[in-house]
Structure 1
Amino acid sequence: MVHPPWAELPLDIWGLIFQRLPLVDRVHASSVCKQWSSALKQTPRPTWILLHHLDDDTKDCDHMIISYFDLGDGAIGNLNLPESTPEGATTGASKGWLAVYMENTTTNNLQTFLLDPISGVQLPLPPMSTTRSASEDSNIIFPKFEISSQDASQSVVAAIFGDESLLALCRPKDKRWTLLEGLDIPEDCRYVSISFCDGTLYALITTENDMVSLQIQTHSIKLPDGHHVRLKVIPLPMFKISSLIFFEYPVGEVGLSGESWMVIPYLVNSNGELLLVLKILDDKGDEGDHNDQLQTPYYRVVTFQVFKVEASDALCLTRLSNLDDQTLFVDGVDAVSLPGENCSRNCIYFLEDSFVYTDRGPKPISSPRSGIFYLNDGKIERLFPDENIANRGFSKWFIPNIKIGGFN
């Protein structure tokens, strides 16, 4: 019996084969030939949950590793970074890049750099000492950062520092951060979310002050290399958030049942459209969610609301019940939108860290608060990820930046 040559295998069969390869091997395979490169372009994009390290992960390791749960494969993996990668701690992720910080033992200052864990490429960022928040306090590490494109070497980096009162920009390899001061932002406002969309950086600010103007500010920020960044500052006072949740829609639709509630807003670029995502929580956990050892309030996710944002002079929000072919991934800090290739569409996968921090250190929560929220009916599945993964403790979503082949 004569078998057809391997080269005649259909691309979809090649795709199924390549899906079984580890991610780094897929990237290497894409450079072998045009056929393999084309097949790999049709494989679903990996979606990872970055995990906290266990002692067994690093006890015999003298270089930096990343532990993750692959949503598509349903398995835990460890990615060993090149030995040349400085040992540091991750502080954020954007478009396939991690922000990593470490202490410079020569200057005793905190140094940050961007890291592509797949290729091992590192891009230095300005030292923390160039911000007015510079101190030895760990709260200067920016919890939120965003880059303007996957090609980080040519991108603009935006970061929120400290107590969310400072927004700064830079280009990789810049000597200093460009602090966005003098923007006529009220002192009690906080930067809570940032997102690049259609060439513009959008910054969402919140405040308890009901008298703050709802007019959107537009600025042109000049960086040291002459590059201009278009910035739009969107004010969203708490009374406006409350009206979105309670006044425009019935209270019963929200489903709050605790004594107090809180809302975490996110801006996200979803296939070229700017969205506002409201994550709504209350302080009444599901049965079995409570842990008597916890000494901090426990808020559970109750529902989400998603709005399309039109930001000209005034803010215009249109509530959405359909994300088309997109899926949202939300963690404690950021939101990401991706085509629903290897997961459910028109829903929100959300993460909440399965550790809370008390005066005696981190304590695991007996029942994870993460889950999948379905926009069509508002239901939540809380069995995601499974308990074994949740007990590892997870930090955030990460979408690896895969550069497939070099073929046209």
Structure 2
Amino acid sequence: MTRVPPKKAAISGLSQIPEELLVMIMQRLTLPDMIRFGCVCSSWRSVSAPARHGKLPWLMLPYDTREGNGAYGFFSLYNRQFYKLQLPEAAGARIFGSSHGWLVTVHPESGIHLLHPFSRVRLQLPSLSTFPAVLDTFYSNEGDLIYVLRSSKGCRAAYGFKWMRDAYIGKFALSSSPSSSSLDCIVVATYGERRKLAFCRPGDNRWTALKTPWDSYEDIVFHKGRLCALDLQRRLVACDIGYASKVYEIMPPSSISCGSQWEYLMSCAGELIMILRDVKWLSDSDDPGAGRRCSCALSGYDAMDIADGDSDDHYNNANTNNKDSTDNDILLCKTIGFRVYKLDFNSRRWIRVRSLGNTMVFLCESNLFSLPARHFNRNRGDHIYFIDDSCDTYTTEHREGVYELCAFKMVDQTIEPYFRTDNQMNMPAPIWVVP
């Protein structure tokens, strides 16, 4: 008779609990407890995944990223607490935002992956060296990976990995959450000095260029199965992407007034939404003390550890950890408001939207999505939760400036700050992650 080790026997017994009972337990758990719940065994993980849908998103923040150990902080909008999560699969990688709950990570040696931060599933995408404009790669005498590119003028130029990672790639968008086959998921990226479009599927060998009437795309999103891309002049194209891709021009240049703005696209309740973010340039000393402050990168005792339960209330103790940053004055791009439009496909016109109704919008540098507010008693609809995350100073390892979580109220056009970070923030910029 074969003896089963006690630990394995215990796990085996837990996996036999009826799914109906597990679902009843899950309904009483907070999101951190759901993640711990899913770590018990594969059957519990499969039950916890759908239960996480409908939960408020988390804000993913740097957590001692200079150590390269794959530790990240997650801020809960629900209870305003920080949690620490180990993601060794993301150690040393740059994270390019979240789509359908998946992170896009770019690793040294040009590897690109889709990573689900809570299930820890990782899918490989074609490497950075397979983008259409990359002609060749080689190693320098110092052992650094060098990329040879063809510029828009037809010249050849060589660039290092850090520049390729931080400047060559723009945004990513997923058509859907990858299934077990991954064939139904299409990943689109903006790339190059002119921000062109390329696409792939998990498991492909290289990125495929998507030829469109123009380039310089500011944002991309999938809407009703089609990719919609908005360029600098607010012209819009829609693309059916497949083995025989088809491109449709939907919008001529927009007549909406231009200025100091950034454009974002979002698919929401069957509508294609464009959000304009109005900004102004100022020195950080022009706006001292706005919002609540916390340290620029979470340290080892500032967050609840999702894995082991060690905790400290980082939010309430935030003011004790910040440093004086007035010595290095930097230019910041401050958000002063938002304008929302929806597309009338028949007239090919953007129509101003004055209210989001029962919808909450979550916006950051790399992604944008919405959730109905009726499921969340402590949060309000008709708000845009956003990260004021733009700044003027970049280096190869980090960028300087202020990251501030705020809520923009559509009803009275005011901004309510939640907390703010100072000094130098390591990559990545904060991003919203859907559970």
Q: TM-score, normalising length from structure 1? A: 0.71
Indicate the residue corresponding to 2:265 in structure 1.
Answer: 267
| 1:64-96 per-position Cα deviation (integer Å, ceiling 9, x unaligned) | 2332212223221221235x6664221222111
Deviations 1:273-292 (A, max 9, x none): 21011101122576437976
Structure 2 residue 400 is the aligned partner of structure 1 residue 363: yes
Match of 1:249 in 2: none
Residue number among 192, 197, 200 corresponding to 1:170 in the alignment? 200
- Identify the residue that residue 125 of structure 2 maps to in structure 1: 125
The CA deviation at 1:28 is 5.3
Inter-CA distance 344–163: structure 2 relative to 1 (3 Å threshold): farther
Contact 2:188 2:200 in 1 (8 A): yes
Change (3 A) 1:305 1:78: same
Are residue 240 (structure 1) and residue 255 (structure 2) matched? yes
Q: 2:186 aligns with which of 156, 162, 166?
A: 156
Partner of 2:93: 88
d(CA) in 2 for partners of 1:45, 1:311: 32
Aligned to 2:363: 330
CA contact (8 A) 1:327 1:345 kept: yes
Letter of the aligned partner of 1:120 in structure 2? R
**Match of residue 334 from structure 2:** 300
Q: What is the 5 A alignment of 1:240-259?
A: 240-242=255-257
In 2: Cα distance, 1:241 partner to 1:338 partner: 27
Q: Distance in 2 between matches of 1:217 and 1:355?
A: 29
- In structure 1, the partner of 2:74 is 68
After superposition, the C-alpha distances for 1:46-76 in whole angstroms (9 at most, x for unaligned) are 4111112326xx75x7x52332212223221
CA deviations over 1:247-291 (Å, ceiling 9, x no partner):
xxxxxxxxxxxxxx5100100011332101110112257643797
The Cα offsets for residues 19-64 of structure 1, whole Å up to 9 and x where unpaired, read as 174341244589878xx95998488514111112326xx75x7x52
Judge conservation of contact 1:281–1:302 (CA < 8 Å) in 2: yes
Q: Is 1:378 matched up with 2:405?
A: no
- Cα deviation for residue 332 of structure 1 reads 2.1
| AA at the equivalent of 2:83 | G
1:144 to 154, 167, 171: 171
CA distance in 2, matches of 1:131, 1:316: 34
Find the aligned partners of 1:270 and 1:230 in 2 and give their Cα distance.
24
Instruction: Say if 1:219 and 1:283 are closer, same or farther in 2 by CA, change over 3 A.
Output: closer
Unaligned runs of 5+ in 2: 1-17, 135-146, 148-158, 291-324
d(CA) in 2 for partners of 1:274, 1:147: 16
- Structure 1 residue 392 displacement after superposition: 6.7
Q: What amino acid does structure 2 have at the position aligned with 1:335? A: L
Query: What is the aligned-residue RMSD (CA, Å)?
Result: 3.9
Is 1:98 paired with 2:126? Answer: no
C-alpha displacement of 1:295: 5.9
Q: State the partner residue of 1:45.
A: 55
- What is the CA–CA distance in structure 2 between the aligned matches of 1:160 and 1:37, rounded to whole Å? 35
Gaps (5+ residues) in structure 1?
A: 1-6, 105-109, 209-213, 244-260, 402-408
Mapped partners of 2:332, 2:106: distance in 1: 29
Query: Could you tell me which of 350, 360, 363 is aligned with 2:386?
Result: 350
Q: Give the partner amino acid of 2:257.
A: S
Pick closer, same or farther for the CA change 1:311–1:389 going to 2, 3 Å. farther
1:99: Cα distance to partner? 0.8
- Taking structure 2 as the reference length, the TM-score comes to 0.67
Instruction: Tell me which residue corresponds to 1:4.
Output: none
The yes-or-no answer on 1:222 pairing with 2:242 is yes
Instruction: Describe the shift of the 1:41–1:20 C-alpha distance in structure 2 as closer, same or farther (beyond 3 A).
Output: closer
Distance 1:310 1:18 in 2: 42
Q: How does 1:25-44 map to 2 (within 5 A)?
A: 25-27=36-38, 41=51, 44=54
Change in CA separation of 1:163 and 1:333 when aligned onto 2, cut-off 3 Å: farther
Residues 189-204 of structure 1 mapped to structure 2, 5 A cutoff? 189-204=215-230
The 1-side partners of 2:32 and 2:238 are apart by 46
Residue 319 of structure 1 is matched in structure 2 by 352
| Matched-pair contact (CA < 8 Å) for 1:70–1:76 | yes
Q: 194-203 or 303-312, which moves further after superposition?
A: 303-312
Q: Which residue among 19, 32, 54 is the counterpart of 2:30?
A: 19
**Shift in alpha-carbon separation, 1:322–1:170, aligned structure 2, 3 A:** same
> Structure 1: which amino acid aligns with 2:122?
Q
Structure 1 position 143, deviation (Å): 2.6
On the 8 A contact 1:47/1:399 being kept in 2, the answer is yes
Q: Which of 266-275 and 338-347 deviates more?
A: 338-347
- Residue of structure 2 equivalent to 1:257: none
Aligned to 1:405: none
Contact 2:358 2:381 in 1 (8 A): yes
How far apart are residue 303 of structure 1 and its match? 1.0
Match for 1:81: what amino acid? L
Alignment match, 1:250: none
CA distance in 2 between counterparts of 1:79 and 1:194 reads 29
